[in-house]
Amino acid sequence: MATTKKTASILSGLGIEERNLGGFAGEWIGSGKAQAVVSPVDGELLATVVNVTKDEFETILGRCHGAFAAWRQVPAPKRGEVVKAIGDELRANKDALARLVSLEMGKTLREGLGEVQEMIDICDFAVGLSRQLYGLTMPSERRRHRLQEQWHPLGVVGVITAFNFPVAVWSWNAALALVCGDTVLWKPSSKTPLTAVAVTHLAQRVLERHGFDPAICSLAIGKGSDIGDLINTDPRVALVSYTGSVPGGRHVGKLVIERFGRMILELGGNNAVIVSDKADLDIALKAVYFGAIGTSGQRCTSTRRVIVHESIYGTFVERLKALYAATTIGDPLDDQHLMGPLVDASAVATMLQAIETANGQGARVICGGETLDQPGGCYVTPCLVETTGNLPIVQEETFAPVVYVMPYRTLEEAIALQNGVPQGLSSAIITNDFVESEIFLSAEGSDCGIANVNTGTSGAEIGGAFGGEKETGGGRESGSDAWKAYMRRQTNALNFSGRIELAQGIELEL
Ligand code: NAD
């Protein structure tokens, strides 16, 4: 293997070999195209992954679907015990998995550790949930009748994930799906297949130890346009949970709705922070800065726009610029660096193109936006761009550390700017004014799925339902009652009156 000793020990500890099969459904399979996985950290070859063929996908889906028949009959709290054990395995492997996340996609180790912690947290949440899959009983309008609802397992959940949270997004879906009695078929991003192989090994160990069919957590690595489309179109996949770009979601959405499948769409954001003249500026600066440079601007909730009151605009921009200038950029596994590389060379090219387009549309670069000469070729400096509103380029999500700063005069104008883009994921206001924050959170305020006060746009906790409106797709995952999307609701009327009586008082003479 062309890896250093240190990298090799991380990989082997997680069951990653020089050559890995990209399919799993009780056994490891794969005979398609072999793909080299290169680290954006320094261009090092980490390992190869063999994609699955369409025939192999058929086998994988068949087994995952077959495993559902038995898994749905396991009592939910027992399913919870399995998820608890997955959480414990993650605890035991937290450091190694976090390092692999950093090596494969380039986020800093502290963020990699945070991502694995998020997996542990959602497992804990799901264990509790396994005893709380409540249905309601409602008063019946008929004498000696009972009206109730039950929640039943749904089937195979196809989990299609983006590169930027290569393992956490699987866990948000899988932990809930498993306690709900569903089986899971994961298609990870082709940019991050190794973390998916590692997590599947871990789930396999747990399922086998507990005497369950390991095909309950299946894996199919391959191109979105072939393996992804097989998931989109196969009626055996009861729910498609898709995390990715807006154009991708539009494609998936059409195919899934065509067969009346269910879906959760978690698509792109274009997240803004409003910095009021009544803000604590230290809080505002930190909230914006971390939201902008965290994961090198490659979070769906990354701060992309900052809408600053005109009276503090100059001061705020100067202070932010100073923070940008002091950003430490380099090897994400080295704790002194706040920013690692972008995921690959195409992400760098997209960033540079967006800056050029912004310039052409009348925006002005305040600082950053340069490439750095470092191994791997994926390091950039974070970029601040001044604009006077939502220019066409500002309305797009550029998945890189580019932030557009713009002034506002009234709160109404700021909220209109904040809402004036097609996406609706995350938003924030920094203010110490109670009325301002209440207006921002009210029906006339932010139109996003996430709206925060005095904290930034990124860094969601698993306890709340996560997702966004408009082009972000409307899906919700993770906490609150997001579990309901992973089950089918059944309404029951039970008659113990000894006679037949129709609802709405309809009489039938026989
Ligand atoms: P992407 O759209 O390029 O890919 C996402 C996934 O879709 C990958 O697994 C890819 O292989 C797959 N795919 C491609 N074609 C497909 C097809 N025809 N059918 C099914 N799947 C197909 O996205 P990316 O670059 O990996 O991730 C970045 C994007 O994801 C950004 O837009 C970001 O905002 C978004 N994202 C959203 C959330 C959220 O929760 N809202 C979270 C993370 C990332």
User: Who wins on pLDDT, 322 or 510?
Assistant: 322
Q: What is the pLDDT of residue 470?
A: 98
What's the 265 CA to ligand 1 centre distance in angstroms? 10
- Beta-bridged to residue 383, according to DSSP, are 402
| Mean pLDDT, residues 77-93 | 98
Q: Report which protein residue has its CA nearest ligand 1's atom 42.
A: 300
If asked whether residues 252 and 322 sit together in one domain, one would say no
The span from the first CA to the last CA of the chain, in angstroms, equals 81
What's the 98 CA to ligand 1 centre distance in angstroms? 21
Which candidate in 64, 217, 300, 448 is catalytic? 300
115 inside domain: yes
Question: 2 falls in which pLDDT band (50, 70, 90)?
Answer: low
Per residue, what are the HEC states of 54-96? HHHHHHHHHHHHHHHHHHCCCCHHHHHHHHHHHHHHHHHCHHH
Residue 489 pLDDT > 80: yes
The CATH number of the domain where 303 resides is what? 3.40.309.10
| Lowest pLDDT segment from 2-16, 107-121, 249-263, 447-461 | 2-16
What's the 284 CA to ligand 1 centre distance in angstroms? 30
| Mean pLDDT, residues 355-382 | 97
110 inside domain: yes
pLDDT in tens, 26-78: 999 999 999 999 999 999 999 999 999 999 999 999 999 999 999 999 999 99
DSSP per-residue codes, 493-504: EEE-SSS---GG
Residue 18 pLDDT > 60: yes
Best residue among 165, 259, 300 to mutate for probing ligand 1, ranked by most atoms within 8 Å of CB: 300
Residue 216 pLDDT > 90: yes
Residue 6 pLDDT > 80: no
Q: Report which protein residue has its CA nearest ligand 1's atom 22.
A: 224
43 inside domain: yes
| Mean pLDDT, residues 402-407 | 98
Residues 6+ apart with CB under 8 A from 224: 160, 187, 190, 248
CA–CA gap between residue 13 and residue 8 (Å, rounded): 8
Percent share of the chain, pLDDT over 70: 99
Q: Report which protein residue has its CA nearest ligand 1's atom 20.
A: 228
If asked whether residues 252 and 143 sit together in one domain, one would say yes
Residue 348 pLDDT > 90: yes
253 inside domain: yes
| Mean pLDDT, residues 420-425 | 98
CA–CA gap between residue 196 and residue 128 (Å, rounded): 25
If asked whether residues 452 and 312 sit together in one domain, one would say yes
Structural contact between residues 127 and 80, judged by C-beta atoms closer than 8 angstroms: yes
17 noted as active-site residue: no
Structural contact between residues 29 and 23, judged by C-beta atoms closer than 8 angstroms: yes
Best residue among 267, 350, 421, 469 to mutate for probing ligand 1, ranked by most atoms within 8 Å of CB: 267
What's the 479 CA to ligand 1 centre distance in angstroms? 21
If asked whether residues 232 and 346 sit together in one domain, one would say no
Ligand 1 nearest-atom number relative to CA 300:
34
If asked whether residues 313 and 170 sit together in one domain, one would say no
Ligand 1 nearest-atom number relative to CA 225:
18
Contacts of 198-202 spanning 24+ positions with Cβ under 8 A: 198/14, 198/15, 198/16, 198/97, 198/100, 199/97, 199/167, 199/170, 199/171, 200/24, 201/14, 201/15, 202/14, 202/15, 202/86, 202/89, 202/90, 202/93
If asked whether residues 290 and 235 sit together in one domain, one would say no
pLDDT in tens, 141-170: 999 999 999 999 999 999 999 999 999 999
Give the binding-site residues of ligand 1, using a 6 Å CB cut-off: 160-165, 187-190, 224-225, 228-229, 232, 243-245, 248, 251-252, 266-269, 300, 397, 399, 425, 468, 472
CA–CA gap between residue 186 and residue 166 (Å, rounded): 11
If asked whether residues 286 and 193 sit together in one domain, one would say no
The CATH number of the domain where 39 resides is what? 3.40.605.10
Q: What is the pLDDT of residue 465?
A: 97
If asked whether residues 388 and 400 sit together in one domain, one would say yes
CA atoms 395, 398, 399, 405: torsion sign = negative
| Mean pLDDT, residues 445-450 | 98
Question: 4 falls in which pLDDT band (50, 70, 90)?
Answer: confident
If asked whether residues 278 and 141 sit together in one domain, one would say no
If asked whether residues 242 and 279 sit together in one domain, one would say no
If asked whether residues 339 and 284 sit together in one domain, one would say yes
What's the 167 CA to ligand 1 centre distance in angstroms? 13
Residue 5 pLDDT > 80: no
217 noted as active-site residue: no
Ligand 1 nearest-atom number relative to CA 477:
40
Q: What is the pLDDT of residue 226?
A: 93
479 inside domain: yes
Residue with tokens 């690595």: 221
Three-class SS state of 444:
coil
Q: Report which protein residue has its CA nearest ligand 1's atom 26.
A: 162
pTM reported for the whole predicted model: 0.98
Measured CA distances, 319 to 282, 297, 315 (Å):
10, 19, 6
504 inside domain: no
3-state helix, strand, coil in the chain (%, to 5): 40, 20, 35
150 inside domain: yes
| Mean pLDDT, residues 368-374 | 97
- Residue 200: other Cβ atoms inside 10 A: 24
Q: What is the pLDDT of residue 467?
A: 98
65 inside domain: yes
What's the 316 CA to ligand 1 centre distance in angstroms? 34
pLDDT in tens, 162-199: 999 999 999 999 999 999 999 999 999 999 999 999 99
Ligand 1 nearest-atom number relative to CA 397:
32
The residue range of the domain holding 153 is: 5-267+473-489
Residue 228 pLDDT > 70: yes
Which candidate in 56, 89, 104, 266 is catalytic? 266
What is the chain's mean pLDDT, rounded?
97
Q: How many domains does the chain have?
A: 2
Q: What is the pLDDT of residue 1?
A: 43
DSSP per-residue codes, 8-58: HHHHHHTT--SEEE-EESSSEE--S-EEEEE-TTT--EEEEEEPPPHHHHH
Closest CA to 188 of 173, 204, 206: 173
What's the 411 CA to ligand 1 centre distance in angstroms? 34
pLDDT in tens, 381-394: 999 999 998 899 99
Question: 211 falls in which pLDDT band (50, 70, 90)?
Answer: very high
If asked whether residues 181 and 297 sit together in one domain, one would say no
